[in-house]
Amino acid sequence: MITALVNGRVLTEAGVIEDRVVLIEDGRILALADAAPEGARIQDLSEGLLLPGFIDTQVNGGGGVLFNDAPTVETIERIGAAHRRFGTTGFLPTLISDDLSVVRQAIKAVDEAIARGVPGVLGIHVEGPFLNARRKGIHDSTKFRALDDEAFEVLTGLGRGRTLVTLAPETTTPETIARLAAAGIIVSAGHTNATYATIRSALDNGLRGFTHLFNAMSPLTHREPGVVGAALEDRHAWCGLIVDGRHVAPPVLRITMAARPRDRLMLVTDAMPSVGTDETTFVLQGRAISVRNGVCVDEHGTLAGSHLDMASAVRNTVGLTGVSLAEASLMASGSPAAFLRLETERGAIAPGRRADLVLADDELRVFETWIDGRPSGARFA
């Protein structure tokens, strides 16, 4: 049966339109029509905003659980359910630096989750352990290791979905980066102290993005542009941004918006277990983490991921940078879809795309989500 979403303000690639009905069939957007066909199941959006579903490429936890603690299908389900309440319809469960055996287990769990049809799972993000201890952030540097043949075999083991790997390019070789890219791995630079020249070489050999731009990487200076300078200059790679007002100062966010193409910026949460709960403490690899004023920190004040959700990230982007809702939505949907090479499947409300959708009000409070055309049940059965 065709489902018709009526009476909504629909954000399309051409802007917000109010006179179209979104028709869904077999999990995909069939058309944007003038009226619902006879016999269609009607879902009245009550003049709410219908946005493309948010895609988050960096989700460590949520709903009270952390992927590293229990890399299982059940953990992935719980994380996905917690973030779906805030408009996330596609995500990468993210494993921070850990032993290779844990990486292997996490990849197996994601593969099984996709096979079982767990809503929203698009693949896995392996953030480390191939990082630089000088830019370790909250990561446990005792877990860091070389990206050797054994590690390569593990990283290329996912049978379904996308694999994103964050590494420090200076800890490996351009040839290894090219080998990963040729194997279909999406390679991103993060927790890195690389020089501009090293990053430029990595970009030339398949580096596709930058993990949480500005955080845990060599900064832009007037004689050595560093990782940040290379990222701001490049016009093709994607840059993740944690827009919570703390990870990156608002003026720096505005400079970034002016410096880079908007379709090469993507919002990420770097979310921790506290998202979707009232919990204010959790344990991260043996360290006590507290949520203070909406920010996750250890006892020394070191940032430990975030307490951010995607709806808040979009809202913050509009409020802190002055970009339009359409531009912020692009950073939350279309841009990460393209980064993951899923732009023909997801990231926009257009015929043929997966019906991954978010219904919200003007303050971006989420009322309902659809994943592959199926509503969560928050508003529609």
Instruction: Determine whether the annotation assigns residue 127 to a binding site.
Output: yes
Instruction: Determine whether the annotation assigns residue 212 to a binding site.
Output: yes
Query: CA–CA separation, 97 vs 257, rounded Å?
Result: 30
Are 209 and 339 spatial neighbours (Cβ–Cβ below 8 Å)? yes
Of 98, 270, 309, 356, the active-site residue reads 270
Token duo for residue 41 = 């199941």
List, in sequence order, every residue forming a beta bridge with 283; answer none if it has no partner.
Answer: 288
List, in sequence order, every residue forming a beta bridge with 142; answer none if it has no partner.
Answer: none
Instruction: Determine whether the annotation assigns residue 303 to a binding site.
Output: yes
Instruction: Determine whether the annotation assigns residue 223 to a binding site.
Output: yes
Query: CA–CA separation, 376 vs 119, rounded Å?
Result: 10
Q: Does 270 qualify as catalytic in the annotation?
A: yes
Instruction: Determine whether the annotation assigns residue 304 to a binding site.
Output: yes
Instruction: Determine whether the annotation assigns residue 138 to a binding site.
Output: yes
- Residues of each annotated binding site: 127, 138, 191, 212, 215-216, 223, 247, 303-305
- Residues of each annotated binding site for Zn(2+): 127, 191, 212
Which residues are catalytic, by number? 270
- Residues of each annotated binding site for substrate: 138, 215-216, 223, 247, 303-305
